[in-house]
Structures are given as C-alpha cells and as structure tokens.
Structure 1
Amino acid sequence: MGGAGFIGSHLAEGLLAAGHQVKIFDRPNLVRPENLLADPRIEWYDGDFLNQDDVARAMPGVEILFHLVSATLPKSSNDNPLYDVESNIMGTLRVLDLARIHQVKRVIFASSGGTVYGIPQTVPIAETHATEPRVSYGISKLAIEKYLHLYHALYGMEYCVLRIANPFGERQRVSTAQGAVAVFLHQALHNQTIHIWGDGSVTRDYIYIKDVVQAFIQALSYTGEQRVFNIGSGHGLSINDILAAIENLLDKPVERSYENARSFDVPVNVLDISCARTQLGWQPAVDFHDGLVNTLLWMRQEPHVR
C-alpha cells in the first residue's frame, strides 16, 4: 500500500534486491518511478485506498503487507481531523479485514516517531514513552497501531510497527512539503528564500531513506515479542543545523525568513533506537552529511524535481 511514493519506491527496490516478488498499490495517475517500471517482478495496481473493491484486486497471494499509505500530512491534519479519521483509520480497517480474509501472514506499518509522542518528557524518546500527539496525524497513527494489536488478539494476525522519525533522500517530493531536508535543499539550489517557523531551534531526528528501507527488510523476518520500534538516527538536528549543512555543501549562503512559530510544533524530537538495535538487529549506516550529498546529486540529475 503506497508503493509508488517516496518510501514505497525505495522499499520496492530493497525488496527486489532481497529476491522478493512485489505488488504495488497506489493512487491512479501517480507518476511511477522509471527505475521500477520495466521490472517484471513487480505487479502494479491502481486504485482508491478507500475503495474496498480496488484494494481487494491486489490482495490475492500477498504474504507480507507493507502499509505506507497516509492521506494527510502532520502540518495539515489538524485542519480537518474528520477527514484524517475517515481516510486513514477507516481505510486501514478495510485493508485489515481484507488481509484477514486473504490470510496475509504479517502487516508491517509505517507509523510516526515524529508525532505520536508529543512533547517529550525525556530525550531520547523510547517506545515506552507516553504518547500525547499534538496533531491529528499522530492520533490516527496511534489508533492504527492499536487496531493492529486488536487484530492480532482476535485473529492471530502478525504485525510490526515502525515509528519512523523524519526520513529524507532521493525522490522525496518538494511540491507537497513532504520533508524539511528536501524542501530546503531544493529551495537553496534555486536561490529561493527559505521560510522557517520559529527561530530555527526546533530539533528533529533525520534518517536517510536507505536506512529506513533496511529496517523494513529486517522486520520481514522478525519473530520476537516486541512489536513497536523507533526508527531514526538517534541524533537531533535543529532547522538552523540543517541550513548550515546545506550552506556548507553548496558553498553559498541561503536566504531565510523567520516566521511566527506554529503551536503544534514540539521543541525537540529525538528517538531512542536501542530497541531496534538489539531486537531487529538494525542500526543506521548512512550519516546525515552523506545522505544530504546523495540527495543533492539526485536533485542535480533530475532538474524537474517536483
């Protein structure tokens, strides 16, 4: 679910490299990554995530279901919580019912390590930390986690939840402001003014997309009792840190404008990833600088980045 997007297309590559057959379900008219189009090991399905018949067409024969779909973004989900619930939670429940009917062995869900915890009481934030989201997006993610546990209790459906921090890298969309790193880098490359909410001290955990994919691959064969894992770098960078790194990489200053802070932004979010290290056998392999270099190379090779 959501296999043609930023995370999904990279995950498809990782699964193919690991020798798996892949089905991709995503929205109609979505531009498919060119590097995946000609691969005969991929079956493509277009449809509406909220249409059970559309989703059902893709379900036969699926053993592992990766749920990456989200119809909202954290920054906009509070504008219409009802739509957030109707699109993400209701859609997921229909998918889980189909997964149960088709005897899917495991569901691996992309949750949000950046929003489910809210304002941290301790940093870095462990999976046992209280969950008090400040955006509807985070509440929906938590609700889906709970429904996965319910389906496990009722029907024995196996599942794993990856609470992903702030992924960045190649093919991240800039037109929808999908991630600060890609948006800022794109704006700096085109000599545009970068608008910042607050004073730039807001700190987040940024994780390179290839490391996220490896976490999903590790979750494929995981059989332990722990079902929820933080997936991040374990280190925090402020907005100002990111801008400094971009200026250093491009060897030029970037224009910036500081705006009023947003009420829902928590001051810091850095994940404790020790559980993923010990239980999944996973840890990030690409540091922020190298990931930023890779993203820049892609942007320069793809002048029409959207």
Structure 2
Amino acid sequence: MKVLVTGGAGFIGSHVCDEFLRGGHDVIALDDLSGGKRENLDPRVRLAVHDIRSREASELIKSEKPDVLCHLAAQMDVRRSVDDPSFDADVNIRGMLNLLEAARVSGVKKVIFSSTGGAIYGEQDVFPAPESHPTRPISPYGVSKASGELYLGYYRAQYGLPYVALRYANVYGPRQNPHGEAGVVAIFSQRLIAGQGCTIFGEGKQTRDFVFGPDVARANRLAFENDYVGAINIGTGVETDINRLYALLAEAAGSSVSVAHAPGKPGEQMRSCVDNALARKVLGWEPSVDVREGLRRTLEYFRQKAGAPARAHG
C-alpha cells in the first residue's frame, strides 16, 4: 500500500512514517519543513516539500494516488491560534480541505486524521473523557480540529470516503520540538541536560494525559488496518500533573536543580484526560509505555542529541 503522511517530517509524523515502513508500505512524507526536519525521516521515505494549502500539495495527491492519507500537518500552537485565529483556520481548515478535495478525486481509500483529545472537549465534565463527551473547545485550535472532524463526516456522507479521527492526548517523546507550545517535556529535558533551571507556570497542579509518540504512531497503523469509522481517543487515561512530570524528569536526569514557578497562563485548562476504552475495543490499541519509562527514553534521546554522556539506570 502507498501511504502519504502530511507533516511526515515532524515529531509525530516521522514516527508514523516509521510505523508504516515497518509494515512494508511505500511511504511519502509531505511537509513544508516549517517545523519538521529531514533528519527525522528514514532514508526510505520520499519527502515532498510543500505547504498543505498549495496547489503542489493537491497535485501530489492526484499524481501519487495514495491508498491512505494520514493527515498530521497542522498549526498546533494553541496560543498562536488565540492570537491569530485566521492563520489557524487557514492552515487547519483550508489546508485540510485542499487535501480532501484531492483525496476524493484520487481514489484515496481512507483518511486518518490527527485530531485532539486535549483541546476538543474543553473543560471536562468527567475524567477521563469518552468520545461521547460534548465537544466544546475553548481555543481556535480546538475549534479547527472539531471542524476537521465535521468535514470528514461530510466527505464520508457525500462521497463515501472512510476516515478515523484520532483524538490524541498530550503526545511527547523523541524528536519532539522544544520550541512548540506543546513541548513541555522537550523543554524540561533540554534544560535539565544543560544543568539549567526550569519554570512551571502556575502551581503545577494542572494535569495532562501524557502519551508516548511511538504508541500514537502505532494507533495510526491500527486505524489503517481496521474498518472502524469515526473518532477514537488515543491516550493513557491517566492524569499526571506538571509538578510530577518535572519530578520524574529530574529524577531521570539525576538533577537536583530546583524548579521555579511563574504566574499561570490565562485560559489554560486545569485538567485533561481521555478514556481509551474504545481504542482498546475496536483497534486493539493500548499504551505500551508508561509515563516514567517514556520520559526516561525521551530524556536519553535529548541527551544523545546534545552529546551528553548517558546516565546509568537500573
């Protein structure tokens, strides 16, 4: 099968490319390299450097005629979406429509969409949140992802195009961009390795559901292999607060540097966690790496990138 991965040179996208390569598939990465890096890609992956909003991206789909479109490319910075909602919508909605229009005329058999479990539910009524939880995003980013799911429903109804919308929790792991809004693990890792102090915004009691990048990539492959259509949460179902996250990373780094606290960021959700029961049932997916082990692996990745000596662990 031929698989086209948008955002394929990025953090999660490159892991998705790896996952499909291991399955023996022909993989093409579409990425404008605004956040992704060529070095993230296995040499066997063909890279096409285009913006998803461009005519070139549309023509690539029409000429390559992939069997599966894994759509990960996005404007993913929540705060930027608040500052510039038009840009967020331009990339995440207009860009997606550009791809879907090409997909429907090119014989694409399935679309696997990277949605969000962290931003689509807003302030949750229950923890962890199931897929039936009301979607009431409180950021333009969350609105654009919810819109993407609605458009996929339209293309399914109008053109018979199957899709799965994977609602990711907070993804972290090797290759994560420390400069992105969602990169707290990468930011802490780099600073701890350098012996620098870290800052937690607010009291650090805000919780997130941290899920390991390669586990998320595996969910993409399972969604491709399964006939299910609709939204599926991809997370651990476990809340970890930011203080605990820092403590685990500091322990793995062997660091005793104290953490500083700064005023909380306005509009930040206090708790976020998704129920993965449906993923277990229909995809046979569950997380294979817990947060302690995932953070250790992530820290070692950044240690190697920095050329720092590895730390022995038991």
Indicate the TM-score class for this superposition, using the shorter chain for normalisation.
Answer: over 0.9
Runs of 4+ in 1 over 6 A off after TM superposition: none
Alignment of 1:23-38 (within 5 A): 23-28=28-33, 31-33=37-39, 36-37=42-43
Amino acid across the alignment from 1:194: C
Which residue of 2 is the match for residue 190 of structure 1? Answer: 194
1:161 aligned counterpart, secondary structure: strand
* TM-score relative to the length of structure 1: 0.94
2:15 pairs with 1:10? yes
1:36 aligned counterpart, secondary structure: coil
Amino acid across the alignment from 2:25: H
The answer (yes or no) to whether the contact 2:192–2:255 under 8 Å persists in 1 is no
Distance in 2, Cα, partners of 1:174 & 1:275: 31
Aligned residues: 301
Which of these residues, 26, 42, 50, is aligned with residue 21 of structure 1?
26
Cα drift, residue 119 of structure 1: 0.4
1:243 aligned counterpart, secondary structure: helix
1:174 aligned counterpart, secondary structure: coil
Cα drift, residue 35 of structure 1: 5.5
Which residue of 2 is the match for residue 200 of structure 1? Answer: 204
The answer (yes or no) to whether the contact 2:115–2:165 under 8 Å persists in 1 is yes
Which residue of 1 is the match for residue 312 of structure 2? Answer: none
Which of these residues, 83, 106, 120, is aligned with residue 102 of structure 1?
106
2:238 pairs with 1:235? yes
Q: Please tell me the root mean square deviation across aligned C-alpha atoms, in Å.
A: 1.7
1:108 aligned counterpart, secondary structure: strand
Amino acid across the alignment from 1:3: G
The answer (yes or no) to whether the contact 2:198–2:260 under 8 Å persists in 1 is yes
2:38 aligned counterpart, secondary structure: coil
Distance in 2, Cα, partners of 1:34 & 1:73: 20
Distance in 2, Cα, partners of 1:299 & 1:157: 40
* TM-score relative to the length of structure 2: 0.92
Query: Mean alpha-carbon deviation: is it higher for 192-201 or for 205-214?
Result: 192-201
Amino acid across the alignment from 2:82: N
Amino acid across the alignment from 2:199: H
Which of these residues, 112, 117, 130, is aligned with residue 113 of structure 1?
117
2:306 aligned counterpart, secondary structure: coil
Distance in 2, Cα, partners of 1:228 & 1:82: 25
Amino acid across the alignment from 2:156: H
Distance in 1, Cα, partners of 2:16 & 2:214: 8
Query: Mean alpha-carbon deviation: is it higher for 149-158 or for 20-29?
Result: 20-29
Cα drift, residue 246 of structure 1: 1.4
Query: What are the superposed Cα offsets for residues 70-115 of structure 1, whole Å, 9 maximum, x if unpaired?
Result: 1241132101111111121011111100000101000000001110
Which of these residues, 274, 277, 297, is aligned with residue 274 of structure 1?
277
The answer (yes or no) to whether the contact 1:9–1:33 under 8 Å persists in 2 is no
Query: What are the superposed Cα offsets for residues 173-222 of structure 1, whole Å, 9 maximum, x if unpaired?
Result: 11334421111111111122322221000000000111101111110121
The answer (yes or no) to whether the contact 1:177–1:183 under 8 Å persists in 2 is no
Alignment of 1:1-306 (within 5 A): 1-28=6-33, 31-33=37-39, 36-37=42-43, 39=44, 42-59=45-62, 60-224=64-228, 226-303=229-306
Distance in 2, Cα, partners of 1:123 & 1:44: 40
The answer (yes or no) to whether the contact 1:195–1:259 under 8 Å persists in 2 is yes
1:229 aligned counterpart, secondary structure: strand
Amino acid across the alignment from 2:192: A
Q: Any unmatched runs of 5+ in structure 1?
A: none
Amino acid across the alignment from 1:210: P
Amino acid across the alignment from 1:13: D
Amino acid across the alignment from 1:7: I
Amino acid across the alignment from 1:63: D
Amino acid across the alignment from 2:186: A
Cα drift, residue 23 of structure 1: 0.9
Distance in 2, Cα, partners of 1:189 & 1:28: 26
| Pair 272,71 (structure 1): closer, same or farther in 2 beyond 3 Å | same
Q: Any unmatched runs of 5+ in structure 2?
A: 1-5, 309-314
1:33 aligned counterpart, secondary structure: helix
2:83 aligned counterpart, secondary structure: coil
| Pair 134,157 (structure 1): closer, same or farther in 2 beyond 3 Å | same
Distance in 2, Cα, partners of 1:166 & 1:97: 29
